[in-house]
Amino acid sequence: MKFLIDNPTSPVAPDALQADGHDAVHVRERGLYDADDETLVELAAAEARTIVSADTGFGAMLALRKGSGPSVNLLSDAGRYPV
């Protein structure tokens, strides 16, 4: 799989994905540290990458676009803290 790792995610995250045989790149590697979400969505769609982020705004943006991609894997630390 191909992944685009967003800023809220560690810049070393691609290393683990690459070790498992995936094509993963962090936005910082592309010089897109301060890029807006729309730019990242366009890049991910053009390169057939899945966005990995903790930014919940991607879901709404993709729903409004009514397109078929890109996909987004939303990371959450909700399970990290006991209730």
* CA pair distance 61, 79, nearest whole angstrom: 25
Of 30, 19, 21, 82, give the one whose Cα is nearest residue 4: 30
* CA pair distance 31, 27, nearest whole angstrom: 6
Mean pLDDT computed over every residue of the chain = 87
Instruction: Give the pLDDT band of residue 80 (cuts 50, 70, 90).
Output: low
| pTM of the shown model | 0.85
Percent of the chain exceeding pLDDT 70 equals 92
Tell me how far the alpha carbon of residue 43 is from its chain's centroid. 11
Residues 6-31 have pLDDT tens digits of 988 888 999 999 999 999 999 999 99
Residues 31-42 have pLDDT tens digits of 999 999 999 999
* CA pair distance 20, 17, nearest whole angstrom: 5
